[in-house]
Chains A and B, each alone.
Chain A
């Protein structure tokens, strides 16, 4: 085995990072001080553990980095895992953080966009053959509607899905919902939960097989930490 090649842990930027760092620290990993500096432009950081680096990337990219072996371990929500369905990702541990749901939303009939619902009163998933949805998750969305025998046309957005109904892009959106306040502020309501989302520890399949000592040990370490936190 080649001990010289560093192990790379990919973490998602933003909301989840705050929740995941206590687990990372509890596992005995302390990133270099620059990691916590918001002005730092570097994306890759050393840690107190020799041969272990952390990279900070967008949530969707965590899965891609790990699937392609650029990073060996990572933290990603099951929304991302479902959307990409990478063959070469293992998700052996539910970290029980980052709780939210992936939901279908549409204009609130009681709100200012309500006419979009009432005008199309007959347009329910039960009697239309075609539906348009704005989402960051076209694969999950299409699969969800396909289960109901409906072909969904997806408008792929990278954010601000909540604007789509008001601006006429689509009547429905599929997006992550935690408190529901963003939906409310945009006069939308949640009509169906597609999946409950939590953050998972993910592992590159080949790294799991070829570096069973180190990668396996970290999976076990995080398993203990997550069990302790629960």
Chain B
């Protein structure tokens, strides 16, 4: 792992190599992913979420900010976000490839759909591109699917969205689901309540995020004690919340802790069949969220397959409040399809029947009508069975109808 080495760049000899983080989805996985997308968006539609499909590329100023730590907490706002950028030769303006779709939905809600009654329920599915992958998830292009419930305050809206995320993952076939809850804003509130300076607050945040007890050593005794308490209050919801509520937290942090306990209690009652954990110290990946936030994990899947939570759609106005244009309370989630595929059984190979050249078209159509996939012979082969085998068909059409190639001739 010498980091002296420049990033791997394929030389001219390595034809057909893709850039790091990009990959081809091959049969049968490409179809599997497409079906998964359909199943997810069908679940969203069944709950009254209308599908929108914004473009892959927009002017950078309308996309900047997504997932960028420099954006003010709790707002989708502009900033020098790391995004793929390209110059639009037509307008001479900078464009960017979306790294998240939530911002685009927020733009639609604030502009074209501003007059629609609230709450507004929208769903989406599409590819996003990231400038960098992470160590464990190197993908730089992947598909997301999700919903946004816009213009709704309150716990009921959060419960609807969380229950829908769980239902979507269950319907997709994932098992052993576990839902991890946090309250974005808890850690900053704790740091403020303890009167920590910026550097100490950062130490506390990093230590709690990575559950690194050693990293708390640089803090004063009170902060270290509470930090340790919060760090130990992560895990199965019931015991962890009991530990969290027993801590002597500063006012604002204590309020958020009670809020987290309330949310967990409501979910335990409303969304059965999912293991519930809490992690008040979690801040990762929730850059523009605030308030209730969640991640969904599943058996056999490395890392979170879904993240979501509460945020505000609008940018700040000149005074820095959220009453800027389009500033509405919203809650939503994104499912990561590449991650979900890890936890799903590989698709069964499709049954395909080889239809020798010269077979009437109506006959092949009848087979398709009966659910077969047909592979049309273009030229009369010597032996149709051999040809079916060569083309990797499971069956061959004979006078007796489709016959498995394994038993035919």
Binding site for B on A (CB under 8 A): 1-2, 67-69, 78, 81, 86-94, 138-139, 142, 153-154, 156, 198, 200, 203, 205-206, 208-210, 212-213, 216, 219, 223
Contacts and interface: CB of A to CB of B under 8 A. Distances in A.
A1 B299 contact: yes
Contacts of A87: 134-136, 210, 284
A98 to B, nearest CB: 12
Closest 7 CB pairs of A and B: A90-B211, A216-B235, A212-B236, A156-B2, A92-B211, A210-B297, A91-B212
A138 B4 contact: yes
Given A198-B214, A209-B295, A216-B235, 5 more contacts: A2-B299, A92-B211, A200-B214, A203-B211, A209-B279
Contacts of A154: 2-4
Contact of A92 (B136, B232, B297, B303): B232
B178 to A, nearest CB: 5
Contacts of A69: 302
Given A1-B299, A210-B299, A212-B178, A89 B236 contact: no
B211 A138 contact: no
Given A69-B302, A210-B178, A89 B210 contact: yes
Contacts of A67: 135-136
29 contacts: A1-B275, A2-B176, A87-B136, A88-B135, A88-B136, A92-B211, A93-B213, A94-B214, A138-B1, A153-B4, A154-B2, A154-B3, A156-B4, A200-B212, A200-B213, A206-B297, A206-B301, A208-B211, A208-B234, A209-B180, A209-B295, A209-B297, A209-B304, A210-B176, A210-B178, A210-B297, A210-B298, A212-B275, A219-B235
B277 interface: yes
A173 B277 CA distance: 44
Nearest to B299: A2
A212 B277 contact: yes
Interface in B225-253: 231-232, 234-236
Contacts of B275: 1, 210, 212
A138 B232 contact: no
Contacts of B210: 87, 89-91
